[in-house]
Amino acid sequence: MRAIIQAFVAVSFLAIFGMVNGQDDVTTGAYGVLWHTLGSSADSQPFVELTGLAYLEPGILFTVDRDLGVLKFDAFTGALVETIPNAFISKPSDVAVDAVGRLYVSDLDCSCIFILNPDSTWQADTISGFGEAAPMHIAVSSGGVLYATDVAVDGAVIIKTFASDAQMSTEFNTDLSSQPHLLFNDSNVLLVLDDDGRVFALSDEGLRFAYAVADMPVSVNAVAVDGNNNLFLATQSRGLVIYDTNGAVIGRAGRIAAGFPIAGEVVSPRGVAVSADGTVYLADSDGTFGAVTAFVRASGRTTGTALDMDVAVMGFLNDESPSQDWHFDATRGQRVTISAIANNEDEQLDVALRIITPVGEEEAFNDDHRGSDLVDQFDARLPDHIFAFDGEYTIRVELIAGEGTYSLGITQPRPFQLAAGNVTLLNGEISDIFPTQQWVFQGRAGQVFTITMQAQNDDLDTIIRLLDPQNNVIAENDDAFDPELGFNSQLVQVTLPTDGAYTIEAARFSGQGAYSLVIVATS
């Protein structure tokens, strides 16, 4: 199943990640996950063989799948917006896009470059004339000039340029032993990275040595630069490694995993791109899955850590990043439930929650939650918390023990009106991070209701509760007395004792999934 994990309701999904443990001495701030779109071989159209990644302002990402063709993603949400097939693409090696949206796809089987027009139609002619196993890498200048690597008949590595009409205009000889990576820096100067980690700048006189990266990774799949000309290497064994203009390692993004990464993890990154605002995008796949992930630097992005109601976010905690702050714009008297849970029980992550007021004072804290709503006893939960002030609160997730990824979510009761026809239907969803949902209606003393909660799949085993205006449970059911309802829940002929706001709490004994609530007023 293809999954787009995001927050801000189709705007962003941010997870704060500390730097990956490893050899590098990292001094820069952490990167976080803005969104994470995952595909697998189980999808009807699986994108599991991704190559390259190109970014087009103001927010389109391009990558190519060997079988599906070009994939276009919304850079703000991670949504796959278009798939553009090309049956002739069989061994893609790189992608590049110019300022008007013309996309170039290099392919080693045809030794050519395919051209996709901005209107998503393919040009009939390709750019051809390359040697065997070329062009391996391509790049486009801000003026629309295409650069491509090639191998001459005598084995010499050369760089060719092509104007916007796809006609070759210049050819540069190099002394390199293999086809280098090509990329343009913020000054529109072509940079050339060879397998030894040497970075050259290309001018009319040829290649000029600029610097060498420290501890060059063995296998580099893709490269990019940001607005500060920092170099981003998508590597096979070390994830995404970031270098400054002196070649020193200044950071890493992502946490290396063996397969099927969750948000913030990388397995085999095949493409990298950086937008003007510094957002870093990775294309990752190994033949069994495909993922495109957007990373942002956490520091200086107060909007990037905002929590949105009923939308889960994720983060990573370890000894180097023992706490992470999120922000929520609260209203005085607002009642919410906040949960933080470990995503992987094997990591033995123990987390705590702390609520800090707009003036910096602690308002609530929880280490290990009480109750059975959350799966792990070491998860944290602050149920039915009432904010004391208006303004921006800090929701801090803290490490108690272990390390690993967590999910964080905030939810509040959902008001609804009873239908005029005496039967009201509601739909919701129970998940590990949102194990309960509350529905609030105005009731009158003497009203009688039968309320049925029915799971929409076989995984969810439901529980239903009815709370009075003082938030006391006046009725509860796990498995209905009606055998036809199975493990579903039902409150039969419950009489309301007083006027006021009543809460129906949809919960679970186990599992997760969608459910329906049927509320029948019988008197």
Query: Residue 133: pLDDT above 60?
Result: yes
Q: What pLDDT, on the 0 to 100 scale, is given for residue 24?
A: 33
**Which position has the higher pLDDT, 165 or 518?**
518
Give the model confidence (pLDDT) of 467-490 as tens digits.
999 999 999 998 878 878 877 889
- Cα-flanking dihedrals φ and ψ of residue 260, to 5°? 40, 70
- Residue pair 455/462 in contact (Cβ under 8 Å)? The answer is yes
Count the helices and strands in the chain (H runs, E runs): 0, 44
Neighbours of 413 (CB within 10 A): 19
Q: What pLDDT, on the 0 to 100 scale, is given for residue 404?
A: 79
Q: Please report which confidence band the pLDDT of residue 27 belongs to, taking 50, 70 and 90 as the band edges.
A: very low
Tell me if the bond preceding 180 is cis, omega within 30° of 0. no
For 355, half-sphere exposure in the C-beta direction (CA atoms, 13 angstrom radius) is 29
Q: What pLDDT, on the 0 to 100 scale, is given for residue 21?
A: 31
HEC secondary structure over 366-407: ECCCCCCCCCCCCCEEEEEEECCCCEEEEEEEEEEECCEEEE
Kindly report which listed range (242-246, 254-258, 320-324, 414-418) carries the lowest average pLDDT score: 254-258
Query: Residue 393: pLDDT above 70?
Result: yes
Per-residue b or e along 322-358, where b marks 16 or more CB atoms closer than 10 Å to that residue's CB? eebebbbebeeebebbbbbbbbeeeeebbbbbbbbbb
d(CA 327, CA 303): 8
SS3 at position 485: helix
Residues 6+ apart with CB under 8 A from 147: 138, 139, 140, 141, 159, 160, 161, 162, 182, 190, 202
Q: What percent of the chain has pLDDT over 70?
A: 88
d(CA 180, CA 183): 10
Query: Residue 458: pLDDT above 90?
Result: no
**What does the pLDDT average to over 156-178?**
83
Q: Please report which confidence band the pLDDT of residue 9 belongs to, taking 50, 70 and 90 as the band edges.
A: very low
- The single residue listed with the structure tokens 């105005």 is 442
Q: What percent of the chain has pLDDT over 90?
A: 55
d(CA 482, CA 133): 69
Angle at CA of residue 420, ends 414 and 423, nearest 5°: 70
- Residue pair 236/217 in contact (Cβ under 8 Å)? The answer is yes
Burial category of 457 from C-beta neighbours within 10 Å (exposed 0-12, middle 13-18, buried 19 and up): exposed
Tokens of 53: 């990644």
Q: What pLDDT, on the 0 to 100 scale, is given for residue 267?
A: 86
HEC secondary structure over 345-367: HHHCCEEEEEEECCCCCEEEEEC
d(CA 33, CA 304): 10
- Cα-flanking dihedrals φ and ψ of residue 304, to 5°? -75, -10
- Residue pair 190/160 in contact (Cβ under 8 Å)? The answer is no
Q: What is the DSSP letter of 86?
A: -
Give the model confidence (pLDDT) of 209-262 as tens digits.
999 998 888 889 999 999 999 999 999 878 888 999 999 988 887 767 766 677
Identity of the highest mean pLDDT range in 59-68, 395-404, 456-465 = 59-68
Give the model confidence (pLDDT) of 265-314 as tens digits.
788 899 999 999 888 999 999 888 899 998 876 433 323 467 878 877 77
Q: What pLDDT, on the 0 to 100 scale, is given for residue 32?
A: 67
Q: What pLDDT, on the 0 to 100 scale, is given for residue 40?
A: 65
Query: Residue 446: pLDDT above 80?
Result: yes
**What does the pLDDT average to over 3-7?**
38
Tell me the CA distances in angstroms from 83 to 4, 35, 54, 235, 329, one per residue in order: 16, 19, 15, 26, 38
**Which position has the higher pLDDT, 466 or 286?**
466
Predicted TM-score of the model (pTM) = 0.58
d(CA 113, CA 86): 12
Q: What pLDDT, on the 0 to 100 scale, is given for residue 7?
A: 32
d(CA 492, CA 485): 13
Query: Residue 23: pLDDT above 50?
Result: no
Cα end-to-end distance, the chain, whole Å:
45
Domains by residue range for the chain, with CATH: 3-297 (2.120.10.30), 311-411 (2.60.120.380), 414-521 (2.60.120.380)
